[in-house]
Amino acid sequence: MKYFHEQIEAKWQKYWAENQTFAAQNNSEKPKYYVLDMFPYPSGAGLHVGHPLGYIASDIVARYKRHKGFNVLHPQGYDSFGLPAEQYAIQTGQHPEKTTKENIARYREQLDKIGFSFDWSREVRTSNPDYYKWTQWIFIQLFESYYCKQADKAFPISELVKVFEAEGNANVDLVCDDGVELFTAAEWNAFSSEKQQEILLQYRLTYLAETEVNWCPALGTVLANDEIVNGVSERGGHPVIRKKMTQWSMRISAYAERLLQGLETIDWSESIKESQRNWIGKSVGASVTFQVSSSKFQVEVFTTRPDTIFGVTFMTLAPEHELVSQITTPEQKAAVEAYVEATAKRSERERMADVKTISGVFTGAYAEHPFTNEPIPIWIGDYVLAGYGTGAVMAVPCGDERDYAFANFFKGKEGMPEIKNIFNQDISEAAFAEKSGFELVNSDFLNGLDYKSGTKKAIEELEKIKGGKAKVNYRLRDAVFSRQRYWGEPFPVYYVNGMPQMIDAKHLPIILPEVEKYLPTEDGQPPLGNATHWAWDVEKLRVTSCELIDNKTVFPLELNTMPGWAGSSWYWMRYMDAHNENEFASQDALNYWENVDLYIGGSEHATGHLLYSRFWNKFLKDRGFITPEEPFKKLINQGMILGMSAFVYRFYTIPMMGKKATGNFEDVVSRSFTSNIFVSKKLADQFENETYDTDLWSKIMKILNQQIELANSNLKEKESKFTQFTNFKTIPYHVDVNLVNSSDEISLNQLQNWMPEFNNAIFIDENGIETDKIIVGREVEKMSKSKYNVVNPDDICNQYGADTLRLYEMFLGPLEQAKPWNTAGITGVSGFLKKLWRLYFDDNGLIVTNDEPTAEMYKSLHKTIKKVTEDIENFSFNTSVSQFMICVNELAQLKCNHRKILEPLAILVSPYAPHIAEELWSQLGHKGSVSTVAFPVFEEKYLVESEKEYPVSFNGKMRFTIKLPLDLTAAQIEEIVMTDERTQTQLQGRTPNKVIIVPGKIINLVG
């Protein structure tokens, strides 16, 4: 009986689906284990072999934990709102819902082929109304909450109203917008309800405010900070500009400290934690207030070096700072305005790109030093960022390189005094930016102190004179939550006189309206502005036609939609109780499953999804909906599987750039001639490095020039001819990697079948002679359709089987490491499965006997049990596969066909290769699935050895081995070793100075 994966795999996949083998129960005697994958965005391209890597790893853990007696929750779903579906809709007019559904069907088909043990009965799709109903609900909860700094948690806004009614807001310590006005209880109670609403909005955890946002004109939407990479949009790489817009924001900054502290309690990779720490960007220091001379204005700065307060030489404000226009003197007005305008014109990216150019302008105004009352000139400079701290700095050139550079650049100009040095250090060449190794001088009461004591003392003194206080600053900004897109969650919000009102939760979901086109409206409204049925009737409590808007009973609805991260910030909770219509999940389910024990996904979500999820989790905990502080206890980032691209190399000519060359570069390039000559990497390299011989060169030139002549003869009269150039290069040309899986050669025929553009191609071999086969070049790149290096898991499953795919993906290397895919190596694991099968079957059928196995067989099995158990616990899946191979090789050698060995072996293999394991299990005569059978338990007794092959080293160099009983003492070992003739040969009569014997390990003779 031979092993045919085709029959086995389909059969068991069907069995699992029909029997709901992996459906998790929400209560059980067993301990719970929640293992989660980052759910995919279903793109039109389908899965490639990189996508399932993490899913295979998590599936192995899920299956293992079931064997170990856990009640395992292992769900899967789709993050199905998103930009690609919308852009496709814009191009084709197809409803995103339709394409999304099609893509999901394709994904599901591909996933099913790999044999995952997902509990599909709990599938979620973020774009389904019964899911986003609860995303909207959470938004409402955030709106109805505020954050109390003292209690360090969120509370219902209704409680805040009570506080305001009783005592106003002067004595409360709450997270809110900058510059909220102070009021007493009496004043509050006298405010109109509109005014009260306006004030409350400044405290809500999601709020509507005019803020500087990242506007991406090409995408027609705002983006969150984490959606921008190097000043351009993460998707598409479009430029992003700053723009003031009224937008919904999430007050994630309220949670900055808890998000930072929580990192200490979770088992995540150091790099992700570090990314989050960077993103949160905590810095401890002080805020200092400087009075602007002879004016009512004050400038507040944040500094991490209050100890350098006496070194303040000038101050710098960001060009966008609100005081700039108010404090500038008439004499400086023109210069300042010109500078501000020039800066505003530059994009964020430009400013980032040229950080070395120093620019700035003096405002003419002075501030007073809080201790010395000395005048301090106030400058504007674009090295100060409006978005960080207060957008203003106290410049201490002696201790800060940027201030130092700025001071030197404007040295001698009006308003730039001599640098004050407050360190007992030389600053003639550069600033002294160290935080240790100095003593403060010229610093009044700080003289003689160091960084630590000086900081403490300076803050104390500042507090005494009310000139400043200790302050912790965070880089983390509130997250913009509005997107000007169609394919996202609509807000449950309507507007009465411009003030946002929440729709009562019992009317949710507010379903995404139909629109005729998915682009913004002509007057610049988001796509939902195209909807005709998008108004809220407060009497009938339903969405109604926009024509009925009268701002009395029918009001306009919010036109923005939620960002992509909304739906993914809580989905792991929905899996716990995916079909609950009354709650986002029942209390019982939430209490039972708590949080995710193991989360596997890519590291690209470090500062996006993973931070927002922690934020929402903490919020929902504060409001008593859930109990865990953190959503994901352990996180593993699978490395990217890279594609092995294959290239042939094509000649093209470069026109001589000399006197004759006319026109710009593009013109010249357009006159270059791309030939149909393809060569191997080896030859291409020779031409790149100009190490070819002249003979070869002239042969190729001949063919090339023939082609040029031919091309010229086919040109129309007016077209300019290609000249016979003498200068040529090769360009790499991607060919489909699937054409060259098992060999490095590609034939002309293969290429012509693959793509018609190769019909006139000529291959040239290393001797300059036409050939029909050349060796391709290889390079590792990210897998992508355009690079023709995508390997489809379906193809692997069809050819080798899902079990082979699963084993091979694990066998490639450590899970967290990026690694190139190379299908050539797959025969190793494919052969392993065949070998495994042959332990159980010969040509006639099952050969398993009930005979008692030998000690060696037990040893092989138990070694494997031990190794595989440890490996899974340590997520070291690649070494497990090696161990399986070792075990099967050993058992085959031992001709083992013993049930007592082969039965546990089938269970051991089942997390990795579940289909073959199920088949073996059932062929061994068992009913039901192997997936819940107890995992074999390792027993030490089978591994106990009586002898050890000792390595014998001389001066640390291993010379020979000697087999000795393990119960010998060191002295006995020494005696035997010393009398061994090989020892005598090595020593050549010398006596060792020292003999080191570690029983059970090594023998080392020194001297």
Partner RNA sequence: GCGGGUAUGGUGAAAUUGGUAGACACGCCAGACUUAGGAUCUGGUGCCGCAAGGUGUGAAGGUUCGAGUCCUUUUACCCGCACCA
Q: Binding site for ATP, residues?
A: 785
Q: How far is the CB of 479 from RNA (least distance, A)?
A: 14
**Looking at the DSSP assignment, which residues form a beta bridge with residue 774?**
746
Chain CA centroid to CA 91, Å:
29
Q: Would you tell me how many other CB atoms lie within 10 Å of the CB of residue 923?
A: 16
Q: Can you read off the two tokens belonging to residue 406?
A: 């700025």
Q: Give, to the nearest 10 degrees, the angle between helix 877-893 and helix 827-840.
A: 40
Q: Does 900 bind RNA (CB under 7 A)?
A: no
Among 551, 882, 932, 984, which residue sits at the site for RNA (rule: CB under 7 A)?
A: 882
Site for RNA in 454-493 (CB under 7 A): 473, 475
Q: Would you tell me how many other CB atoms lie within 10 Å of the CB of residue 214?
A: 20
Q: Looking up tokens 């440890």, which residue turns up?
A: 870
Among 881, 902, 908, 909, which residue sits at the site for RNA (rule: CB under 7 A)?
A: 881
472 versus 656: smaller Cβ distance to RNA = 472
**Looking at the DSSP assignment, which residues form a beta bridge with residue 445?**
none
Coil, strand or helix: which one is 8? helix
Q: Does 423 bind RNA (CB under 7 A)?
A: no
CA 776, CA 736: separation in Å to the nearest integer? 11
CA 564, CA 403: separation in Å to the nearest integer? 40
Cβ contact 366:336 at 8 Å: no
CA 159, CA 789: separation in Å to the nearest integer? 59
Site for RNA in 26-45 (CB under 7 A): none
Site for RNA in 719-738 (CB under 7 A): none
121 versus 893: smaller Cβ distance to RNA = 893
Interface with RNA (CB under 7 A), residue total 85
Site for RNA in 257-286 (CB under 7 A): 269-271, 274-275, 278-279, 281, 283, 285
CA 69, CA 57: separation in Å to the nearest integer? 19
Site for RNA in 754-813 (CB under 7 A): 811-813
User: Which H or E element spans position 451?
Assistant: helix 451-464
126 versus 986: smaller Cβ distance to RNA = 986
Among 295, 325, 698, 817, which residue sits at the site for RNA (rule: CB under 7 A)?
A: 817
Stretch that binds RNA, among 361-369, 381-389, 502-510, 897-905 (CB under 7 A): 381-389
Site for RNA in 927-956 (CB under 7 A): 949, 951, 953, 955-956
Q: How far is the CB of 996 from RNA (least distance, A)?
A: 4
CA 68, CA 460: separation in Å to the nearest integer? 59
Q: How far is the CB of 962 from RNA (least distance, A)?
A: 10
Q: Does 344 bind RNA (CB under 7 A)?
A: no
138 versus 887: smaller Cβ distance to RNA = 887
DSSP for 895-928, written as a single string: T--BHHHHHHHHHHHTTTSHHHHHHHHHHTT--S
Among 425, 442, 580, 879, which residue sits at the site for RNA (rule: CB under 7 A)?
A: 879
Q: Does 970 bind RNA (CB under 7 A)?
A: no
Q: How far is the CB of 937 from RNA (least distance, A)?
A: 18
Q: How far is the CB of 327 from RNA (least distance, A)?
A: 18
Q: Can you read off the two tokens belonging to residue 832?
A: 């392993």
User: Which H or E element spans position 51?
Assistant: none
Beta strands 777-782 and 641-653 are antiparallel
Q: Does 23 bind RNA (CB under 7 A)?
A: no
Closest by CA to 41, choosing from 493, 568, 423, 519, is 568
Q: Does 505 bind RNA (CB under 7 A)?
A: no
DSSP for 133-156, written as a single string: HHHHHHHHHHHTEEEETTTTEEEE
377 versus 389: smaller Cβ distance to RNA = 389
Among 293, 814, 924, 962, which residue sits at the site for RNA (rule: CB under 7 A)?
A: 814
Coil, strand or helix: which one is 454? helix
Return the beta strands (E) in 99-195 as ranges.
145-148, 153-156
| Sheet of 1002-1006, strands arranged across | 957-965, 947-954, 1002-1006, 994-998
Site for RNA in 345-364 (CB under 7 A): 351-352, 354-355, 357-358
537 versus 856: smaller Cβ distance to RNA = 856
Coil, strand or helix: which one is 971? helix
238 versus 349: smaller Cβ distance to RNA = 349
Q: How far is the CB of 394 from RNA (least distance, A)?
A: 7
Among 818, 847, 978, 987, which residue sits at the site for RNA (rule: CB under 7 A)?
A: 818
Burial of 899 (0-12, 13-18, 19+ CB in 10 A): middle
Residue 45-84 contact track with RNA, rule CB under 7 A, x = bound:
----------------------------------------
**DSSP letter (8 states) at residue 38:** P
Among 180, 229, 934, 966, which residue sits at the site for RNA (rule: CB under 7 A)?
A: 229
Among 831, 845, 928, 965, which residue sits at the site for RNA (rule: CB under 7 A)?
A: 831
CA 312, CA 468: separation in Å to the nearest integer? 15
CA 561, CA 559: separation in Å to the nearest integer? 7
Stretch that binds RNA, among 73-81, 389-397, 422-430, 614-622 (CB under 7 A): 389-397
Site for RNA in 299-318 (CB under 7 A): 302-305, 318
Q: How far is the CB of 792 from RNA (least distance, A)?
A: 15
135 versus 878: smaller Cβ distance to RNA = 878
CA 138, CA 135: separation in Å to the nearest integer? 5
Name the residue type at position 659. K
| Sheet of 554-556, strands arranged across | 542-544, 535-537, 554-556
Closest by CA to 401, choosing from 389, 378, 383, is 383
Closest by CA to 407, choosing from 422, 394, 396, is 396
DSSP for 553-574, written as a single string: SEEEBP--B--HHHHHTSHHHH
Q: How far is the CB of 54 from RNA (least distance, A)?
A: 16
Site for RNA in 588-607 (CB under 7 A): 603, 606-607
Q: Does 5 bind RNA (CB under 7 A)?
A: no
Q: Does 895 bind RNA (CB under 7 A)?
A: no
Coil, strand or helix: which one is 464? helix
- Binding-site residues, in ranges, read 785
239 versus 813: smaller Cβ distance to RNA = 813
**Cα separations (Å) of 900 from 134, 464, 844?**
52, 81, 21
Cβ contact 650:678 at 8 Å: yes
Closest by CA to 507, choosing from 579, 557, 550, is 557
338 versus 1006: smaller Cβ distance to RNA = 1006
239 versus 814: smaller Cβ distance to RNA = 814
166 versus 970: smaller Cβ distance to RNA = 970
Stretch that binds RNA, among 330-338, 647-655, 676-684, 831-839 (CB under 7 A): 831-839
Site for RNA in 527-556 (CB under 7 A): none
Closest by CA to 620, choosing from 142, 26, 134, is 142
Q: How far is the CB of 271 from RNA (least distance, A)?
A: 3
Site for RNA in 987-1006 (CB under 7 A): 994, 996, 998, 1001-1002, 1004, 1006
Stretch that binds RNA, among 298-306, 527-535, 580-588, 624-632 (CB under 7 A): 298-306
Site for RNA in 390-409 (CB under 7 A): 391, 393-394, 400, 402
Among 219, 266, 764, 829, which residue sits at the site for RNA (rule: CB under 7 A)?
A: 829
438 versus 687: smaller Cβ distance to RNA = 438
**Cα separations (Å) of 507 from 499, 512, 545?**
20, 14, 17
5 versus 621: smaller Cβ distance to RNA = 5
159 versus 274: smaller Cβ distance to RNA = 274
Among 190, 334, 338, 824, which residue sits at the site for RNA (rule: CB under 7 A)?
A: 824
